[in-house]
Amino acid sequence: MASSRCRPRKDRSATFLTLVLSLTGLFPACMLAGPPEILWETEIPSLFDSRAWGIDFTDDGGAVVVGEACTEDPDIGSLLLAKLTPQGGIQWQRTTGWGLFTSGQDVLQVPGGYIVCGDVTTEAGADGFVARFDYFGQEVWRLIIEKPDDDALFDLAEVPGGLYAAAGYTESTGAGGTDFWLVLIDGDGVLQWSRTYGTAGSEVAYSVRPRSAGGFALCGGCDGNFHMVLTDEEGAGLLSRSYDQGGHETARCIIESSEGGFLMVGSTMEEGGYQTDSWLVCTDESGNEQWNLVLGGEGTDSAWDAVEPATGGFVVLCNTMSDGCGSYDASLTRIDPWGNVIWTVLAGDSCWNTASGLALGETGDLVTGGRTWNSETDCYDTWVVRTGPEDLLDWP
């Protein structure tokens, strides 16, 4: 790897501003926070390009990542599943596949193992799948949902009652073009129901979460705008809304905040432009916009995932070419519930470093998964970065 690593940037000016605002009563004390330290980075080497798409903490304090590992032929590849120890050591890694190319998009730790979703490409096109693996990464079952045209499942969420929801897009059924696609399965991989949401235009869902009021919240892109769908418990659509920043917008992640509204994060690109910025939209529980925020600089920026720490507000995972050590770096940006930036931590070296999955541990640790350029082997390796909890005590 390149030797010139830079240290995570501590944004003391933002911390100081937060402190001043807090002392003047404009901020609740819980929003006093400094950036976390990066505890470790792990590169999982592979013969050809590999990457993580999704990540979760495990009950032993380690992490599980899922993604894909290519072969010499970039059209042939396997699902990559790897387990890391709490210290970042590679406990095991497995590749498995059921077609020409199997891509793992998201992973959840569940009792006794892991649930994964993604897509399998065969000569006939792409199909969405959900699969279960045991604690050591051996397949327990798989559900490949065969439909005639292209379909994929990008995000997984645990649903009360031992059920799992997966969301993505389908070209095979629905209102035309691609539509949001939501499936509900039980812990044995039995499909409970499958629903689509869309118009004659092109809708792709990237994220799903169960709502505290019951039912589901989905987000993604629709004809160049952020798009949100809220459903009831049976998946019947309740609300469908788009959010436009005037250019081409795609939402990658939706989370419900403890206050009852939703945060969507993704990217926006000016009409006729070629570089994106990260874009965040926060709504109330009915999808009415409360605030929105563009994050980014001169280079390309995009937001991929978000979590809500126990102290409220959000941590957003972005990839940025505007800041950091060179090419892409991954950034974690702490946002308060009103859309103010509190701190940013950057991870990466002078080469390409991007992350697409973010998970929050019980003690406030963060872990991200993506890919990093390995200049010795000239290929992308799977890359995992873990931080400690944010700094709630150490003030300048």
Q: Does residue 327 touch Ca ion according to CB under 5 A?
A: yes
Those residues with Cβ within 8 angstroms of residue 322's Cβ, 6 or more apart along the chain or in another chain:
296, 297, 298, 299, 300, 301
- If one asks whether residue 348 binds Ca ion (CB under 5 A), the answer comes out as yes
E-state strands within 211-337: 216-222, 225-231, 237-243, 248-256, 262-269, 276-283, 289-295, 301-307, 314-320, 329-335
- Region near Ca ion per CB under 5 A, out of 21-29, 158-166, 290-298, 317-325: 317-325
Amino acid at 85: T
Is residue 353 a contact point for Ca ion (CB under 5 A)? yes
Q: Applying CB under 5 A, does 106 fall inside the site for Ca ion?
A: no
61, two tokens:
């304090």
Task: Decide whether 100 or 392 has the Cβ nearer to Ca ion.
Answer: 100
Q: Does residue 277 interact with Ca ion by CB under 5 A? A: no
> Least distance in Å: CB of 223 to Ca ion?
8
In one letter, which amino acid is 200?
A
**Residue 19 tokens, joined:** 């402190």
Decide whether 31 or 251 has the Cβ nearer to Ca ion.
Answer: 251
Across the beta sheet with 366-374, what order do the strands follow? Answer: 38-44, 379-387, 366-374, 353-360
Q: Taking CB under 5 A as the rule, does residue 225 contact Ca ion?
A: yes
- Does residue 300 bind Ca ion (CB under 5 A)? no
List binders of Ca ion among 178-197 (CB under 5 A): 179
When asked if residue 147 is in the footprint of Ca ion (CB under 5 A), the reply is: yes
CA dist., res. 344 & res. 331, Å (int): 7
Please give the Cα distance from 61 to 79 (Å, whole number): 23
- Counting contacts by CB under 5 A, is residue 56 touching Ca ion? no
Specify the 3-state DSSP secondary structure of 29: helix
- In the complex with Ca ion, the residue whose CB is nearer, 321 or 367, is 321
- Under the binding rule (CB under 5 A), the answer on residue 118 touching Ca ion is no
- Residue whose entry in the numeric block shows the structure tokens 């892109």: 221
Give residues 151-180 in contact with Ca ion (rule: CB under 5 A). 151, 175, 177, 179
Task: Count the site residues for Ca ion by CB under 5 A.
Answer: 19
Q: Rounded CA gap, 106 and 55, in Å?
A: 7
- Establish if 41 lies at the interface with Ca ion (CB under 5 A): no
- Residue 207 or 225: the one with the smaller Cβ distance to Ca ion is 225
Binds Ca ion by CB under 5 A, chosen from 73, 244, 259, 284: 244
Q: Which residues make beta-bridge pairs with 107? A: 116
Q: Which residue has the tokens 């709490």?
A: 86
Q: How far is the CB of 276 from Ca ion (least distance, A)?
A: 12
225 vs 340, which CB is nearer to Ca ion?
A: 225
Residues present in the chain in total: 396
Single residue of 106, 127, 277, 365 touching Ca ion by CB under 5 A: 127
Under the phi-then-psi rule, with left for phi > 0, alpha for psi from -120 to 50, and beta for the rest, what region is 60?
alpha
According to DSSP, the residues that pair with 193 across neighbouring strands are 184
User: Does residue 299 sit in helix, strand or coil?
Assistant: coil
Position 125 contacts Ca ion (CB under 5 A)? yes
CB closer to Ca ion out of 125 and 309: 125
| Residues making contact with Ca ion (CB under 5 A) | 125, 127, 147, 151, 175, 177, 179, 198, 203, 224-225, 244, 249, 325-327, 329, 348, 353
